[in-house]
């Protein structure tokens, strides 16, 4: 049999979990590769979520969710510097707006302490208003100083880049279609690009983890998509909303509809939590919009709805076990990082440690002497000082050409994002790496220019450039004429 690739470990799925695992694997002397069915990493649930690096008080004590959240939060403090991750350590508030909820805060505080979350504190209405003046309905709140907001796509890309820099491989447009077993162990992964011979497989396929596990003979869990919808506001609205991360008291199903300002200063409200059958449907609904507006108004009564710039939705991978499913399965050579419903962003670096440790129990892993956990330092053009901007333009004149006016993203940054390891191949891939198209006009101005740059850099016609997935071409031949 001819193999498209031969390797030691295949990671399935290029979300934040798969990329964090690949980075962790790259610390060891073995061949590891990640396959992703879409043209880019970070196109699944990792691209549409609240992006909160939770402190860790929410999950049941002793669960994988709790352990990996608390450890993941601590790891991000270190990774931020090593990988230039965009993280704002804002702290978070859980706000009580009724006497009953004030009692609930106490329960959260006790659980948080049992979970090992540092610095938790119940604060008064006055103290809440000092931190967040628009939370006029608050009676009290629980303050968690170690929480923050992250740039989740940036994290996934950085994890993948760090892994590649250390010899791992990322193959996009490569969907897993089945497995071949020898002596009951998975040894061949069939993909749309060909067969891969391997010693071990890690299933980090997000909402499709159930299907992947079943293909390998592991039917021990199911995954149900649970949709969460959002409304995103223009940066100008932040001052009438919140500075950091503000939760209501949680419900049985979710952490509730929050009001939160992202790493780049846009505030969003959401998400709701509704189970659905489809694993593809990320549409937003008018009922959903009404639900999140009503939820957010309980925290901030005067929402500036005229400043809304977009809506979006993401799908949580809710497992029937209620917890993350991590480690060895009943199929030899097949490991799961599945059911990563939430807090998968906060937990990803710790999930990676757990999964790689589990593999270490079944195969010999030797640490590399020359592993490099740092990525080159980089500052976005719009965050540079005037002197830095001048120098960047002198070094590369493409930095003098602004392509995205809303976010001040230059052609130099877009070209770098395409040429870098695990580079952008689509318009949305450029957006996730540079923020071109994430501002007020949502790509209305820069979209065609980004498309032309992609076509030039990738050596393909403009009408072949994808927005995101296959079939999402933006232009027909007429564009060129």
Ligand X SMILES: Cc1cc2nc3c(=O)[nH]c(=O)nc-3n(C[C@H](O)[C@H](O)[C@H](O)COP(=O)(O)OP(=O)(O)OC[C@H]3O[C@@H](n4cnc5c(N)ncnc54)[C@H](O)[C@@H]3O)c2cc1C
- The contact set with ligand X (CB under 6 A) reads 12-18, 35-38, 43-46, 49-52, 54, 175-176, 204-206, 208, 212, 228, 271, 314-316, 340-346
> CA-to-CA distance for 73 and 65, rounded, in angstroms?
12
- Smallest distance, ligand X to C-beta of residue 313, A: 7
What lies within 8 Å, CB to CB, of 317 at 6+ separation is 45, 206, 207, 209, 223, 225, 338, 339, 340, 341
**108: exposed, middle or buried (C-beta count within 10 Å: 0-12, 13-18, 19+)?**
buried
Catalytic status, residue 264: no
Closest to ligand X by CB, 141 or 176 = 176
Closest to ligand X by CB, 72 or 447 = 72
* Chain residue whose CB lies nearest ligand X: 344
Helix axes 344-360, 64-83, angle to 10 degrees: 100
H or E element, residue 326: strand 325-328
Residue with tokens 């938790």: 120
Closest to ligand X by CB, 323 or 463 = 323
Which of 54, 65, 226, 227 is an active site residue?
Answer: 54
- Smallest distance, ligand X to C-beta of residue 394, A: 39
Closest to ligand X by CB, 153 or 399 = 153
- Smallest distance, ligand X to C-beta of residue 254, A: 8
Closest to ligand X by CB, 8 or 36 = 36
- Smallest distance, ligand X to C-beta of residue 226, A: 7
Coil vs helix vs strand at 87 = strand
H or E element, residue 268: strand 267-270
DSSP string for residues in 301-316? SS--GGGEEEEEEEEE
Q: Which two tokens stand for residue 48?
A: 């549409």
> CA-to-CA distance for 43 and 45, rounded, in angstroms?
7
Q: Which two tokens stand for residue 173?
A: 């447009």
Closest to ligand X by CB, 9 or 446 = 9
Q: Report CA-CA distances (Å) from 239 to 60, 73, 258, 369.
A: 35, 27, 16, 49
**386: exposed, middle or buried (C-beta count within 10 Å: 0-12, 13-18, 19+)?**
exposed
Q: Which residues belong to the active site?
A: 54
């Amino acid at each position: 049999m001819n193999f498209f690739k031969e390797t030691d470990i295949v990671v399935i799925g290029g979300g934040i979990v798969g990329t964090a695992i690949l980075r962790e694997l790259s610390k060891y002397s073995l061949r590891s590769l990640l396959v992703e069915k879409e043209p880019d990493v970070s196109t699944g649930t990792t691209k549409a979520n609240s992006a909160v690096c939770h402190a860790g008080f929410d999950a049941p004590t002793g669960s994988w969710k709790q352990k990996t959240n608390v450890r993941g939060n601590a790891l991000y403090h270190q990774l931020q510097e090593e990988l230039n991750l965009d993280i704002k350590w804002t702290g978070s508030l859980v706000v009580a707006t009724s006497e009953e909820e004030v009692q609930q805060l106490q329960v959260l505080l006790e659980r948080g302490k049992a979970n090992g979350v540092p610095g938790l504190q119940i604060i008064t209405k006055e103290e809440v208003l000092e931190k967040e003046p628009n939370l006029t309905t608050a009676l009290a709140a629980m303050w968690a100083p170690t929480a923050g907001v992250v740039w989740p796509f940036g994290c996934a890309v950085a994890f993948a880049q760090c892994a590649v820099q250390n010899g791992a491989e990322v193959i996009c447009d490569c969907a897993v279609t089945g497995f071949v077993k020898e002596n009951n162990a998975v040894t061949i992964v069939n993909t749309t690009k060909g067969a891969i011979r391997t010693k071990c497989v890690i299933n980090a396929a997000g909402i499709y983890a159930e299907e992947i596990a079943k293909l390998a003979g592991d039917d021990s869990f199911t995954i149900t998509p649970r949709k969460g919808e959002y409304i995103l506001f223009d940066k100008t609205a932040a001052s009438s909303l919140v500075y950091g991360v503000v939760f209501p008291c949680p419900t049985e199903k979710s952490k509730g509809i929050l009001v939160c300002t992202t790493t780049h200063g846009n505030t969003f409200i959401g998400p709701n939590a509704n189970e659905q059958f489809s694993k593809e449907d990320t549409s937003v609904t008018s009922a959903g919009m009404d639900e999140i507006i009503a939820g957010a108004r309980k925290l901030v009564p005067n929402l500036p709805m005229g400043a809304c710039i977009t809506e979006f939705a993401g799908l949580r991978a809710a497992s029937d076990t209620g917890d993350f499913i991590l480690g060895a399965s009943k199929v030899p050579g097949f490991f799961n990082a599945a059911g990563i419903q939430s807090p998968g962003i906060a937990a990803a670096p710790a999930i990676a440690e757990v999964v790689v440790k589990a593999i270490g129990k079944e195969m010999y892993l030797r640490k590399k002497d020359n592993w490099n956990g740092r990525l080159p330092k980089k500052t976005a053009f719009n965050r540079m000082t005037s002197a830095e901007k001048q120098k960047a333009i002198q070094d590369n004149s493409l930095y003098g050409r602004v392509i995205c006016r809303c976010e001040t993203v230059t052609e130099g940054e877009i070209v770098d994002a395409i040429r870098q390891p695990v580079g952008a191949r689509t318009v949305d891939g450029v957006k996730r790496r540079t923020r071109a198209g994430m501002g007020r006009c949502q790509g209305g101005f820069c979209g065609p220019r980004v498309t032309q740059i992609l076509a030039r850099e990738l050596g393909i016609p403009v009408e072949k450039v994808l927005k995101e997935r296959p079939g999402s071409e933006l232009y027909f031949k007429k564009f060129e004429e």
